[in-house]
Amino acid sequence: MAEKPAADQEPSLPQLPKSPTGISGFDQITEGGVPRGRPTLVCGGPGSGKTLFSMEFLVKGAVEYGEPGVFVAFEERPEELTKNVASLGFDLADLAARKKLLLDHVHIERSELEVTGEYDLEGFFVRLGYLIDSIGAKRIVIDTLEALFASLPNEAILRAELRRLFRWLKGRGMTAMITAERGLDEATLTRHGLEEYVSDCVILLDHRVSGQISTRRLRIVKYRGSYHGTNEYPFLIERQGISILPISAVELRHHVSTDRVSSGISRLDTMLAGGYYRGSSILISGTAGSGKSSFASSFAAAACRSGERCLYFAFEESEPQIKRNMAAIGLDLGAWTGQGLLRFEAARPTVYGLEMHLVRMHAAIEAFQPAAVVMDPISNMTAMGNPREVNAMLSRLIDFLKEKGITSVFTTLAHPESTEETEVAISSLIDTWLLLRTVEMSGERNRTLFILKSRGMAHSNQVREFLITDRGIELTNVYIGEGLVFTGSAREAQEAKDRAEALARRQEIEQRRRAHERQRRLIESQIATLQTQLDQEEEDLKMALAQMELRDKARSVSNRRQEELRRADAVDERAGSTGRGRGKEKHHG
Amino acid sequence: MAENKSKENAERVGTVGETGALRRGSKKAKYELRLYVAGQTPKSLTAIANLKKICEEHLRGQYHIEVIDLLKNPQLAQGDQILAIPTLVRKLPEPIKKIIGDLSSTERVLVGLDVRPPIP
């Protein structure tokens, strides 16, 4: 016991030496793997993947880290094990031949066993020691140690011996993985309480079935002296082995592109200021029958038209059905499949579990190497597990697609009353989100489109109506009135109304203009009349003045003539007589 | 004759850890027994002594004992699926029977070897 037991759990401890497991994702969660030179307990129910997990730990250790390993199996025979893990690409026979891995089968038949008196497990120790020494093993797996409890009586002896076994393994510096069956009740990790002996690292594997769909999860129950993720991590058994999905460990370092790819709908491209970004993820959500598949197919056809490969995952409809339906709106998908640019992968989500779907999709993408991927619809995935798991799976998938620079279009069914809430979970993973809605107005349902978000591009904020025509999807002109976008026949009515109103306005203007003209002419004629009157007036005035002048002249001539005739006064006197006379009166009065 | 045999058997029991050297006359033995031990521990020695006594008392002339020390021959643990020490393996007659422990109960050993029917 050179090493001090890490029971004190001081945070100031230097980083615990760790052995990488090589299991993708696990070393990230644990920041390096399992504790080196110590036993790790892997517990889980039947079929939870304990054997595979520990086998991969051994195989990766032997192949990638140069640490030979011993696999002691209590339940499966070496031939069976070899066959079972061959599907994961582990060639145990070859590893055994190269002395990198040893398989041993421990088998005890309870029926041929009798016990009398005391015993110990020295035989097992000797056997392990012999196996370890024969290839210089650094790692060992004992799967499933608890089988001993079923085979050997006298639990007290067994427990003492197991305690000794763990000490012995530690003493030999073996990085060990011991698997154990999950306890029958949720409170106990293992059926026989092995966790009490293994205090360094305990991993719990779980294989739950909900809604007839199974999902696998992993949780690190305890890891002395080390930080570790405490969440439940979904994991998959993939072609390359176990793969854990540590979402937090996802490195957001994709190559981003400013290239645009067409959505297949020219006016939509305009709304997006040029189309989708290459390698981005697009979510098209909408209610039933709002045209999601048509949008997705338009995108697929556009990709093919530009000579790129597109992979279409159909989770609802079969390939011929999609082709028929899209042919009706002028998209000849059959031509593209014929040219090998388009490929369909159709399967009901409920056929496989969540992980199988991921595996299938990965495999299909790797095989076809598409530039564009359509998944129609992803909302069906929720049938495979709870939203959190689906979310984890999708994030993993989207990450994978982004890493490969694949433009991906996902459709999702939204319920009318929760259009924008349902997909909140995955919205953060989505770059461009189109919302399709049917608007009910004046006895008809019409389809509208709205760009809910589009990262990194100036996009239109307008709600647009679109029509699914036999030439594909067409975005119509926008008619807005009273704060609403008019759609369908309401839009047509509005258009007609607008036309009528325009005509009426033109007519009114014409009428007003004519009325004014009339008025003007009337007034002008009045002005002319008045002018004539005025001229007349002036003429009359002139004439009158001339007459009066003549009259005045005539009178003065006649006055002088009278005076001359009467000769009554001197000319001078007579001239001022009237004034003087009055002055005299004043004077006297 | 019988005395000779028992003497021979006694000798074999004494050769702890020697294997493969006991071909002579072994085919005649009805009970082919192997006792696995790991070093000369008290438990091992008790088992050897108990086995000798039981065989002499109940199977005289019909048995053959081989004692295997796993510390000397660790590779032999695999063949007979030995975990517990001491383990007595009845190789013959078939089927194989195993009795683990220090063989302190004669009754149980005899039942285990099918010499006597199980105690009701």
Alpha-carbon gap, residue B93 to B115, rounded angstroms? 11
Per CB-CB distance under 8 Å, the chain B contacts of A102 are none
Q: Is the backbone of residue A375 left (phi > 0), alpha (psi -120 to 50) or beta?
A: beta
Q: Are A31 and A17 in contact (CB under 8 A)?
A: no
Beta-ladder partners of A75: none
Interface test with B, best of A72, A102, A119, A154 (most B CBs within 10 A): A119
Closest CB to B83: pick one of A106, A112, A118: A106
The count of C-alpha atoms lying within 13 angstroms of the C-alpha of A54, restricted to the half-sphere facing its C-beta, is 33
Q: What is the DSSP string of B42-89?
A: HHHHHHHHHHHHHHHHHSTTSEEEEEEETTT-TTHHHHTT--SBSEEE
Q: How distant is the alpha carbon of residue B23 from its chain centre?
A: 15
Q: Work out the pLDDT band at B19, boundaries 50, 70, 90.
A: very low
Per CB-CB distance under 8 Å, the chain A contacts of B77 are 123-124, 126-127, 130
Q: Are A460 and A265 in contact (CB under 8 A)?
A: no
Nearest chain B Cα to A112, which residue? Answer: B97
φ/ψ of residue A466, rounded to 5: -130, 155
Beta-ladder partners of A311: A343, A373
pLDDT in tens, chain A (589 residues): 344 444 444 444 566 889 999 887 788 788 889 999 999 999 988 888 899 999 999 999 999 999 999 999 988 888 888 988 888 888 999 999 999 999 999 888 777 788 888 889 999 999 999 999 999 999 999 998 888 888 888 888 889 999 999 999 999 999 999 998 887 776 778 888 888 887 789 999 988 776 666 678 888 888 888 777 777 777 877 777 787 765 444 455 567 778 889 989 888 888 888 888 898 889 888 887 888 889 999 999 999 999 999 999 988 888 999 999 999 988 899 999 999 999 998 877 766 666 667 767 877 887 889 999 998 888 777 666 666 667 777 777 888 888 888 999 998 887 655 544 445 566 777 888 888 888 777 777 788 888 888 888 778 777 888 888 888 888 887 766 666 667 777 777 777 888 888 889 999 999 999 999 999 999 999 999 999 999 999 999 999 999 999 999 999 888 888 888 887 666 555 555 444 444 444 444 3
Per CB-CB distance under 8 Å, the chain A contacts of B71 are 126
Fold of A17-244: Rossmann fold (3.40.50)
Residue type, A151: S
How distant is the Cα of B10 from the closest Cα of chain A, in angstroms?
22
Domain boundaries, chain B: 2-14+30-112
Distance of CA A67 to CAs A20, A37, A124, A135, A412, Å?
11, 12, 22, 10, 47
Per CB-CB distance under 8 Å, the chain B contacts of A113 are 97-100
Q: Biggest alpha carbon distance in chain A? A: 198
Q: Tell me the pLDDT tens digit for each residue of B83-109.
A: 899 999 998 888 888 899 999 888 888
Alpha-carbon gap, residue A501 to A243, rounded angstroms? 67
Fold of B2-14+30-112: Glutaredoxin (3.40.30)
For chains A and B, what is the number of CB pairs under 8 angstroms?
A: 99
Sign of CA dihedral A501, A502, A504, A508: positive
Q: Are A86 and A79 in contact (CB under 8 A)?
A: no
ipTM over 0.85: no
DSSP label at B117? Answer: P
For the record, the structure tokens of A194 come out as 């092995």
Interface test with A, best of B36, B45, B76, B100 (most A CBs within 10 A): B100
Closest CA to A331 of A290, A303, A294: A294
Per CB-CB distance under 8 Å, the chain A contacts of B80 are none
Q: Is B77 on the interface with A (CB under 8 A)?
A: yes
Q: How many CB atoms lie within 10 A of CB A86?
A: 12
CATH class of A260-478: alpha beta
Q: Is B40 on the interface with A (CB under 8 A)?
A: no
Q: Are A127 and B74 in contact (CB under 8 A)?
A: yes
Residue type, A431: D
Q: How many CB atoms lie within 10 A of CB B28?
A: 10
- Looking only at the bridges linking them, the beta strands covering A407-413 and A281-286 are parallel
Same fold for the pair A17-244 and A260-478: yes
Domain boundaries, chain A: 17-244, 260-478, 546-589
Q: How many CB atoms lie within 10 A of CB B78?
A: 14
For the record, the structure tokens of B3 come out as 């005395």
In the block, tokens 């992803």 appear at A378
How would you label A279-291 residue by residue, b for 16+ Cβ within 10 Å and e otherwise?
bbbbbbbbbeebb
Closest CB to A116: pick one of B85, B97, B103: B103
Q: Rounded to 10 degrees, what is the CA torsion of B72, B74, B80, B82?
A: 100
